[in-house]
Amino acid sequence: MSLSNSNTHKFSLLKHLRCPECGLVHNAAEINTVCNNEDCRSTLFAEYDLPQVLNPEQFLAGRPANMWRYHEFLPVINPDNIVTLGEGFTPILPLANLKAEAGDNEVFWKDESGNPTGSFKARGIGMAVSKAKELGIKHIVTPTAGNAGGALAAYCARAGIKASVYIPQLTPKVFKDECRLYGADLVEVDGNIADCGKLANDDAVQNGWFQVSTLKEPYRLEGKKTMGYELAEQFNWQLPDVIFYPTGGGTGLIGIWKAFNEMEQLGWIGKERPRMVAVQSTSCDGIVSAFHGGQSRSEFKDSGFTIANGLRVPKPYADKQILNVLYQSKGNAIAIDDADMNDAVKHIAAKEGMLIAPEGAALWVAFKKLKAQGWIKADECVLLLNTGSGYKYLENID
Ligand X SMILES: *Cc1c(COP(=O)(O)O)cnc(C)c1O
The residues that touch ligand X, with contacts defined as CB under 6 A, are 119, 121, 147-148, 214, 246-252, 310, 357, 359, 387-388
Task: Look at residues 268, 383, 386, 397 and name the one whose alpha carbon lies nearest to residue 329.
Answer: 383
Closer residue to ligand X (CB): 105 or 389: 389
**Residue 37 binds which entry of Zn ion, ligand X, none, CB below 5-8 Å type-dependent:** Zn ion
State which H helix or E strand residue 281 sits in: strand 275-281
**By CB under 5 A, what part of segment 37-66 binds Zn ion?**
37, 40, 42
Stretch that binds Zn ion, among 21-29, 86-94, 201-209, 235-243 (CB under 5 A): 21-29
Residues 248/253/254/257 CA torsion (nearest 10 deg)? 180
CB of 42 to Zn ion, least distance (A): 5
User: String of b and e for 189-225 (b: at least 16 CB within 10 Å)?
Assistant: beebbbbbbeebbebbeeeebbbbbbbbbbbbbbbbb
249: CB partners within 8 A, 6+ apart: 214, 215, 313, 316, 317, 318
Q: Least distance in Å: CB of 120 to ligand X?
A: 7
Q: Which is nearer to ligand X, 53 or 356 (CB)?
A: 356
Given 13, 28, 35, 204, the residue binding Zn ion (CB under 5 A): 35
Q: In angstroms, what is the minimal distance from the CB of 39 to Zn ion?
A: 8
42 binds, among Zn ion, ligand X, none (CB under 5 to 8 A by kind): Zn ion
Least separation in angstroms between CB 151 and ligand X: 9
**Smaller CB distance to Zn ion: residue 42 or 389?**
42
The secondary structure of 327-383 as a DSSP string is HHTT-EEEEE-HHHHHHHHHHHHHHHS--B-HHHHHHHHHHHHHHHTT-SPTT-EEE
How many helices (H) and strands (E) are present in the chain, helices listed first?
Answer: 11, 13
Q: Which option in ligand X, Zn ion, none does residue 143 bind, with CB closer than 5 to 8 A by kind?
A: none
Q: Which is nearer to Zn ion, 16 or 369 (CB)?
A: 16
22 binds Zn ion (CB under 5 A): yes
Cβ burial of 366 (10 Å; 0-12, 13-18, 19+) is: buried
CB of 130 to Zn ion, least distance (A): 25
Q: Using the minimum distance from each CB to Zn ion, give the nearer residue, 12 or 43.
A: 43
Complex with ligand X: residue 218 or 310, whichever CB lies closer: 310
Q: Which is nearer to Zn ion, 19 or 361 (CB)?
A: 19
DSSP-derived secondary structure for 235-251:
TTT---SEEEEE-SS-H
Shortest distance, CB of residue 106 to ligand X, whole angstroms? 23
- Cα–Cα distance for residue pair 245/288, rounded to 1 Å: 13
Residues of this chain that interact with Zn ion (CB under 5 A) are 19, 21-22, 24, 35, 37, 40, 42
